[in-house]
Amino acid sequence: MSANNSFSHLTLNERRIILTGITNGSSKTAIAQTIGKDKSTVGKEIKLHRSLTHKCKMPLECNNYRKCPFERQCTPDCPEYFPFKCSRRDRSPGACNGCSNWSKCRFDKYTYSPEDAHSDYRSVLIDSRQGVNLTTSEAKAIADIVAPLLKKGQSPYQIITGHPEIGISEKTLYNYIEGDVFHEIAGITAMDLRRQVSRKMSKKKAKGYKKRADRKYLLGRTYKDYKIYIDENPDVFVTQMDTVYNNETTGPFIQTFKFINSGIIFAILHNSKTSESMKQGVDLLESILGTQVFRKYVHILLTDRGTEFSAADAMETGTDNTRRTRVFYCDPMQSGQKGSLENKHIELRYILPKGADLCSLGLVDQDALNIVLSHVNSVPVEKLGGKSPLDVADFMYHDLFEKLKTFGLHKIEKDKVVLKPYLLKKESVKIFL
Gyration radius of the chain's alpha carbons: 27
Query: Does a structural domain hold residue 205?
Result: no
Residue 160 scores a pLDDT above 60? yes
> What residues form DSSP beta bridges with 323?
317
> What contacts 97, CB < 8 A, 6 or more positions away?
19, 22, 23, 111, 112
pLDDT given at position 184:
66
Residue 124 scores a pLDDT above 70? no
Mean predicted confidence (pLDDT) in 119-143: 64
Amino acid at 173: L
Q: Which of 118-127, 243-252, 377-386, 400-409 has the lowest mean pLDDT?
A: 118-127
pLDDT given at position 280:
95
The pLDDT confidence band at residue 392, using thresholds 50, 70 and 90, is: very high
pLDDT given at position 3:
41
pLDDT given at position 62:
86
pLDDT given at position 338:
93
The backbone torsions φ and ψ at residue 207, rounded to the nearest 5 degrees and listed phi first, read -65, -40
Whether cis (ω within 30° of 0) applies to the bond prior to 148 is: no
Domain-terminating residue out of 61, 88, 120: 120
Give CA–CA dist 205/388, Å, rounded. Answer: 47
CB burial readout 393-431, b (16+ within 10 A) else e = bbeebeebbebbbebebebbeeeebbbebebbeeebeee
What are the pLDDT digits (tens) for 3-53? 445 545 788 899 999 999 999 999 999 999 999 888 888 988 898 889 888
Let me know: does 133 contact 72? Beta carbons within 8 Å: no
What is the torsion angle, in degrees rounded to the nearest 10, for the CA atoms of residue 61, residue 66, residue 68 and residue 74? 20
Give CA–CA dist 192/190, Å, rounded. Answer: 5
Residues 282 and 338 in one domain: yes
pLDDT given at position 399:
95
SS (HEC) of 285-317: HHHHHCHHHHHHHCCEEEECCCHHHCCHHHHHE
Top pLDDT among 91 and 240 is at 240
The backbone torsions φ and ψ at residue 62, rounded to the nearest 5 degrees and listed phi first, read -105, 130
Q: Looking at the 3D structure of the chain, how many domains does it have?
A: 3
Residue 186 scores a pLDDT above 80? no
Residues 148 and 108 in one domain: no
pLDDT given at position 200:
52
The pLDDT mean for the chain works out to 84
Sheet holding 264-270, edge to edge: 264-270, 253-259, 238-244, 300-303, 326-329
Give CA–CA dist 65/84, Å, rounded. Answer: 10
pLDDT given at position 127:
46
Domain-terminating residue out of 199, 217, 237: 199
Residues 113 and 140 in one domain: no
DSSP category for residue 61: -
Top pLDDT among 426 and 157 is at 157
Residues 424 and 319 in one domain: yes
Residue 64 scores a pLDDT above 90? no
What are the pLDDT digits (tens) for 284-322? 999 999 999 999 999 999 999 988 999 999 999 988 888
Percentages helix, strand, coil for the chain (3-state, rounded to 5) are 50, 10, 40
For the chain, the residue count is 433
Query: Does a structural domain hold residue 206?
Result: no
Q: Which of 122-131, 145-154, 163-172 has the lowest mean pLDDT?
A: 122-131
Query: Does a structural domain hold residue 212?
Result: no
The residue segments making up the domain with residue 138 are 133-199
Query: Does a structural domain hold residue 103?
Result: yes
Share of the chain above pLDDT 90, in %: 46
Residues 325 and 383 in one domain: yes
Give CA–CA dist 21/26, Å, rounded. Answer: 5
Helices 136-151 and 170-178: angle between axes, nearest 10 degrees: 90
The helix (run of H) or strand (run of E) holding residue 269 is strand 264-270
Residues 167 and 272 in one domain: no
CA proximity to 375, closest of 390, 387, 361, 386: 390
CA proximity to 407, closest of 248, 312, 284: 284
Q: Which of 150-159, 293-302, 390-399 has the lowest mean pLDDT?
A: 150-159
Residues 115 and 147 in one domain: no
Residues 99 and 173 in one domain: no
Query: Does a structural domain hold residue 139?
Result: yes
Query: Does a structural domain hold residue 217?
Result: no
Q: Name the pairing type of β-strands 300-303 and 264-270.
A: unpaired
Query: Does a structural domain hold residue 68?
Result: yes
Mean predicted confidence (pLDDT) in 230-238: 91
Residue 324 scores a pLDDT above 90? yes
Give CA–CA dist 142/188, Å, rounded. Answer: 11
DSSP category for residue 414: G
Residue 265 scores a pLDDT above 50? yes
Query: Does a structural domain hold residue 125?
Result: no
CATH number of the domain where residue 401 is located: 3.30.420.10
Residues 426 and 316 in one domain: yes
Residues 181 and 104 in one domain: no
pLDDT given at position 213:
52
Top pLDDT among 243 and 184 is at 243
Let me know: does 197 contact 178? Beta carbons within 8 Å: no
> What residues form DSSP beta bridges with 269?
254
pLDDT given at position 177:
83
Residues 111 and 140 in one domain: no
Asked whether the whole model's pTM tops 0.85, one would answer: no
How many angstroms separate the Cα of 72 from the Cα of each of 10, 65, 66, 67, 80? 43, 6, 9, 9, 10
Whether cis (ω within 30° of 0) applies to the bond prior to 83 is: no
Give CA–CA dist 153/149, Å, rounded. Answer: 7
Q: Which of 125-129, 211-215, 326-330 has the lowest mean pLDDT?
A: 125-129
Q: Which of 48-57, 94-103, 134-143, 328-337 has the lowest mean pLDDT?
A: 134-143
Residues 183 and 79 in one domain: no
CA proximity to 419, closest of 363, 351, 345: 351
> What residues form DSSP beta bridges with 110?
52
